[in-house]
Chain A
Amino acid sequence: MESAAPAAKPKGRLCVICNERRAALKRPKNLQPICRECFYAAFEDEIHRVIVDNNIFKPGERIAIGASGGKGITGYRDDSLETVKRNEIQYGLALKVVSYKDLYGWTMDEIVKLIGLKNNCTFCGVFRRQALDRGAALLKVDKLVTGHNADDIAETVLLNILRGDIARLSRCTSIITGEDGPIPRCKPFKYTYEKEIVMYAYFKKLDYFSTECIYSPNAYRGFAREFIKDLERIRPRGILDIIKSGEDFRISTSTKMPELGTCERCGYISSQKWCKACVLLDGLNRGLPKLGIGRRRELNNSKNANQENGTKNLQSKQCGSLDF
């Protein structure tokens, strides 16, 4: 690594990349002091490189971008949706709003009122994933892009180890998933640090909305996220190291994956008779919201056993919002 020449100027340090302008920030990824212009160039170039190297897009493809909002959460929904609408005007991109209420007949407010705080992330994760696919299908696009960044993926690698989910562990680092499904989804920010995204948005004065979901106070997901933040503080590249580990794990490819079919009820892709969303929705509509929570075989157990197992399972499913 080339060290910066001693600064003749009295003000601050020079950017280590151009050696001309004054450094305006320390890059979260490697703590290098660089100027704004070089940060923009490096940030954009790296993402571009990821897209090209992984053949994420092909000429002529129609791409949908999954933007946050529309979950039917008072406060959160309205503010984030307003931001997304302004983005539509700023960038001249067509915006399709798909709400849970439209698709499922329930808002998140209503779901939380019925089921409480502990399990609602499972509903939100399942509904959101399907809503994105349905929205993409409506727009007749070829690929769907989500904003999952390096921090999210590292967190998912950790959580899959903690939960004992070897099947997800083998595919949670894929940059394109669902290529055998109707609409593949892509993560061009796979190697991009969350902090750098925020920094880029801040310096570029991009209009964005930032807050925590008011319905996800659960500690379990927070444990992993807190750990990753601490790790990043000690060793910034730890996040990329986790992703590299996730890519390199020696997992047997002969592990049997469930056969995919379609849901009898809504036609969505599913390995079961009914897709997860329909199972959860059926529970909601019948006044049995916990019906779809927990492993399948446990639904046949006695009531007490089911509650006990459901309680244990909710812990490992609370991070449903990160299921890719």
Chain B
Amino acid sequence: MACNSATCNPGCLRDASREDGEKEQQSHPTADDHGACNGDEHVSNRAESLSNSICLKCKLNETIAASGFGAGLINGDGGRFCADCFRSNLYWKFRFSVTSNDMISPADNVLVAFSGGASSRVALHFVSEMQDKAQKNFEASRDRALPVFGVGVAFVDEQSVSTDHCHEFDIAIEDMKLIVSNLAPPLKKFLVVPIESVYTLEPSNGRERLKKLINTINDTTGKEDLLEHLRMLALQKVALENGYTKIVLGKCTSRIACHVLEATVKGKGYSLAADIQYVDARWEVPVVLPLRDCFSHEIDLLCCLESLKTVEVFRGKRSGINGLVSSFVKLLQEENPSRESTIVRTAGKLTPFHFNRIPEDNKSHGPAASQRRQRKRILKTDNLLSQESFCPVCNCPIKMSDLTTTTHSEDAQTSVDLMELCCLSCRFQILPAELSSLNLFHSFLPDPIVARANDARSLNHSWLREQIEDCLLSDTEVEA
């Protein structure tokens, strides 16, 4: 009997998943007995798919590979599952991430960041589907106790910092609007967010200042990373202004594996754990990654099967450290298909931070909803709540020993103060080395970063005070 996703519960799928794993192990000796297995992973998969063209899970339909669909995308799953079971399994991974990490509550208003790519396209599709199901449940229930979460879509427009492609860009925007309007009802608001909106200025002035800011940075990787930080700032701003309570990113396992190595080679091993969890609530609007356990090849295959349209938005070739890491991970993945998974699993064992869970006060909105959670991921984090300092530029938590202690004024008025507040990685690859360029950079910074620098200064100062508080005399306190 085929397992219909509407009636399937997580336990059933997980049991099936485990069973599939065991069968996969058993099938290897079979392939070996046939003499087809010569140690080559691809040959092994092909032999396996030829000898087992029936879906491992439902035992009824042909596997995706056997049906000849998407031949170029054959991977483990395509050779083992039929289209329906593959899709159900992927959606289950998404939904399990959401429920076990309290990502979305009924009272939430969710903003899905959509870049046009496959990952964010699937995130958009699944969030929309989840909302549609919740809406149907709401209408079917008698008491209608729980509301249905809202969904909006945002695209960050980085035209102002790219070279050209204006006309193609407009076509891409129209395509995105069409995609959003074709989602399951209710109608989603689609917001095009210029990245220069991080400035509270007239658009043309913001564009000009942003260009100047980027141009003060020499390092290619530094430019890329600053743009990524600004992208998040723009999303945060538009979410706050439009009443959204969560931001959904389409980051998948493959993207996270690259990030693990990118952070490692930039000396950001300390803060890496913060970036790769399901939930990141260091921001005002918490950021969640429901596709964290899905691989890019699975996502590509799903887009193919369901004809989910993606949009090509030119973002330039990544030629610095980030590009090198992407090439490296791609090479490793070709050599061993489980490499990305291993990388993310290794990094997943690093200790998360206290903000890597939904803040407690949010739960007060839905006490009944909390009781309905089937299971929650128990996240061991450190509980040193008040001692974390964050880099004003990239917002990563900073290791205490990396902080330089100074007794400057309370306000981060000078660029040198800014430098001392930043993490070592940003100091090297984003902040200009020359003092005059640094001053220029500082003057071009958007307001949220300046505000964060001021906050960091105050926090730093009060932390220093805590260290010496037991030695202070009472009149000194009065004086302060």
Query: B154 contacts the other chain (Cβ, under 8 Å)?
Result: no
B349→A305 contact, CB < 8 A: no
Known contacts being A242-B264, A245-B272, A304-B32, is A251 close to B345, with CB within 8 Å? no
Known contacts being A219-B335, A223-B331, A250-B350, is A161 close to B261, with CB within 8 Å? yes
Query: A241 contacts the other chain (Cβ, under 8 Å)?
Result: yes
Q: Cα distance A233–B240 when bound, in Å?
A: 42
Q: Cα distance A74–B30 when bound, in Å?
A: 41
Question: Could you say which of A223, A245, A305 contacts B267, with CB atoms under 8 Å apart?
Answer: A245
Q: Cα distance A178–B209 when bound, in Å?
A: 55
B266→A241 contact, CB < 8 A: yes
A247→B269 contact, CB < 8 A: yes
| Closest partner residue, chain A, to B382 (CB atom) | A250
Q: Cα distance A241–B269 when bound, in Å?
A: 9
Query: B200 contacts the other chain (Cβ, under 8 Å)?
Result: no
Chain A's interface size range is 35 or more
For A227, the chain B residues whose CB sits under 8 A away are 324, 328
Query: A231 contacts the other chain (Cβ, under 8 Å)?
Result: yes
B339→A252 contact, CB < 8 A: no
| Closest partner residue, chain A, to B348 (CB atom) | A166
Query: A84 contacts the other chain (Cβ, under 8 Å)?
Result: no
Question: Could you say which of B263, B264, B321, B335 contacts A235, with CB atoms under 8 Å apart?
Answer: B321
Query: A302 contacts the other chain (Cβ, under 8 Å)?
Result: yes
Q: Considering the complex, which residues of chain A in the window 229-279 have a beta carbon less than 8 Å from any beta carbon of chain B?
A: 230-231, 234-235, 237-238, 240-242, 244-252
Q: Cα distance A311–B31 when bound, in Å?
A: 15
For A238, the chain B residues whose CB sits under 8 A away are 265-266, 321
| Closest partner residue, chain A, to B319 (CB atom) | A234
B328→A241 contact, CB < 8 A: no
Task: Report how many A-B pairs have Cβ atoms within 8 Å.
Answer: 109
Q: Cα distance A163–B261 when bound, in Å?
A: 13
Q: Cα distance A249–B349 when bound, in Å?
A: 10
Known contacts being A234-B320, A305-B29, is A248 close to B270, with CB within 8 Å? yes
A164→B345 contact, CB < 8 A: yes
| Closest partner residue, chain B, to A235 (CB atom) | B321
Query: B4 contacts the other chain (Cβ, under 8 Å)?
Result: no
For A157, the chain B residues whose CB sits under 8 A away are 264
- How far in angstroms is the closest Cβ of chain A from B261? 7
Q: Cα distance A244–B39 when bound, in Å?
A: 38
From B263, B268, B269, B336, name the one whose CB has the most chain A CB atoms within 10 angstroms: B269
For A311, the chain B residues whose CB sits under 8 A away are 39
B349→A251 contact, CB < 8 A: yes
Q: Considering the complex, which residues of chain B in the window 315-358 have a beta carbon less than 8 Å from any beta carbon of chain A?
A: 320-321, 324, 328, 331-332, 335-336, 339, 342-343, 345-347, 349-351
B343→A162 contact, CB < 8 A: yes
Query: A220 contacts the other chain (Cβ, under 8 Å)?
Result: yes
Query: A165 contacts the other chain (Cβ, under 8 Å)?
Result: yes
Q: Cα distance A238–B265 when bound, in Å?
A: 6
Known contacts being A161-B260, A164-B346, is A308 close to B28, with CB within 8 Å? yes
Query: B428 contacts the other chain (Cβ, under 8 Å)?
Result: yes
For B404, the chain A residues whose CB sits under 8 A away are none
Binary contact readout B244-284 vs A (1 if CB under 8 angstroms, 0 otherwise): 00000000000000001101111111101100000000000
Query: A158 contacts the other chain (Cβ, under 8 Å)?
Result: yes
Query: B204 contacts the other chain (Cβ, under 8 Å)?
Result: no
Question: Could you say which of A237, A249, A315 contacts B350, with CB atoms under 8 Å apart?
Answer: A249
Query: A319 contacts the other chain (Cβ, under 8 Å)?
Result: no
Query: A1 contacts the other chain (Cβ, under 8 Å)?
Result: yes
For A16, the chain B residues whose CB sits under 8 A away are none
For A231, the chain B residues whose CB sits under 8 A away are 265, 321, 324
- How far in angstroms is the closest Cβ of chain A from B353? 8
A158→B32 contact, CB < 8 A: no
Q: Cα distance A166–B347 when bound, in Å?
A: 8
| Closest partner residue, chain B, to A219 (CB atom) | B335
Query: A175 contacts the other chain (Cβ, under 8 Å)?
Result: no
Question: Could you say which of A223, A245, A247, A302 contacts B268, with CB atoms under 8 Å apart?
Answer: A245
For B433, the chain A residues whose CB sits under 8 A away are 1
Q: Cα distance A1–B433 when bound, in Å?
A: 8
Query: A172 contacts the other chain (Cβ, under 8 Å)?
Result: no
Query: B383 contacts the other chain (Cβ, under 8 Å)?
Result: no
For B273, the chain A residues whose CB sits under 8 A away are 249-250
For A293, the chain B residues whose CB sits under 8 A away are none
| Closest partner residue, chain A, to B39 (CB atom) | A311
Query: B93 contacts the other chain (Cβ, under 8 Å)?
Result: no
For A220, the chain B residues whose CB sits under 8 A away are 335
Question: Could you say which of B264, B346, B424 contacts A165, with CB atoms under 8 Å apart?
Answer: B346
Question: Could you say which of B39, B221, B265, B428 contacts A245, with CB atoms under 8 Å apart?
Answer: B265
From A160, A165, A169, A249, name the one whose CB has the most chain B CB atoms within 10 angstroms: A249
Query: B425 contacts the other chain (Cβ, under 8 Å)?
Result: yes
Q: Cα distance A238–B343 when bound, in Å?
A: 19
- How far in angstroms is the closest Cβ of chain B from A273? 28
Query: B399 contacts the other chain (Cβ, under 8 Å)?
Result: yes
- How far in angstroms is the closest Cβ of chain A from B316? 17
Q: Cα distance A306–B433 when bound, in Å?
A: 56
Query: B25 contacts the other chain (Cβ, under 8 Å)?
Result: yes
B260→A315 contact, CB < 8 A: no
- How far in angstroms is the closest Cβ of chain B from A214? 22
Q: Cα distance A308–B27 when bound, in Å?
A: 12
For B321, the chain A residues whose CB sits under 8 A away are 231, 234-235, 238
For A166, the chain B residues whose CB sits under 8 A away are 346, 349
User: Can you list 29 A-B pairs with a CB-CB distance of less than 8 A?
Assistant: A161-B261, A162-B332, A164-B342, A165-B346, A166-B346, A169-B346, A223-B328, A231-B265, A234-B321, A235-B221, A235-B320, A235-B429, A238-B266, A241-B265, A241-B267, A242-B264, A244-B269, A245-B268, A248-B270, A249-B350, A251-B351, A252-B349, A252-B351, A252-B380, A304-B29, A304-B32, A304-B33, A307-B32, A308-B28
Q: Interface residues, chain A, CB within 8 Å of chain B?
A: 1, 157-158, 160-166, 169, 219-220, 223, 227, 230-231, 234-235, 237-238, 240-242, 244-252, 302, 304-305, 307-308, 311, 315
**Which 10 residue pairs across A and B have the least CB separation, nearest first?**
A245-B269, A241-B267, A248-B270, A250-B351, A248-B269, A244-B267, A164-B342, A245-B264, A304-B29, A166-B349
